[in-house]
Amino acid sequence: MKVVSQRLIGGIKAGIILYTLAVAAAGYILRGNAFGFGVLVGGAVGLLEFWATAWLVEKILLSPDSKVAAGIGLGMKSVLVLGLVGVLMGFKAVEFIPFLLGLLSLFFGIIMGAVIYFFLIPSREEAGG
């Protein structure tokens, strides 16, 4: 049993990737390698964050026995992501603004995924399949 449509999850992942690639390409053209790389790294962190959150939430909703463990996993995931961001910023591995623009891929990806899911791609029921 699936709690959330895989079509919606796929649309959000596609939205995150499309936004990241578009902004990284524009940043690379307009500002150079470091800017484009920062956007790509931020987008990768955003995609990883979304994937881990979706996986953990599905575990929480589908298996009542593992709700506590999955809830702890959700908290640990947040700590790990914040730690990763802290390490990247602390060691100045990427520039802050491009990285932040890449992280915004999570927000824009969710919007794009919802638009794709609800308006652009018909469901199997609507398509008659």
Cα 123 off chain centre by? 23
Gap between the Cα atoms of 34 and 78, Å rounded: 26
What's the pTM?
A: 0.86
36-48 pLDDT, tens digit each: 999 999 999 999 9
Lowest-confidence range among 16-25, 76-85, 87-96, 119-128?
Answer: 119-128
Q: Is the pLDDT of residue 107 over 80?
A: yes
Contact at 8 Å (CB) between 116 and 11? Answer: yes
DSSP state of 111: H
**H or E segment at 6?**
helix 6-31
5-30 pLDDT, tens digit each: 888 888 899 999 999 999 999 999 99
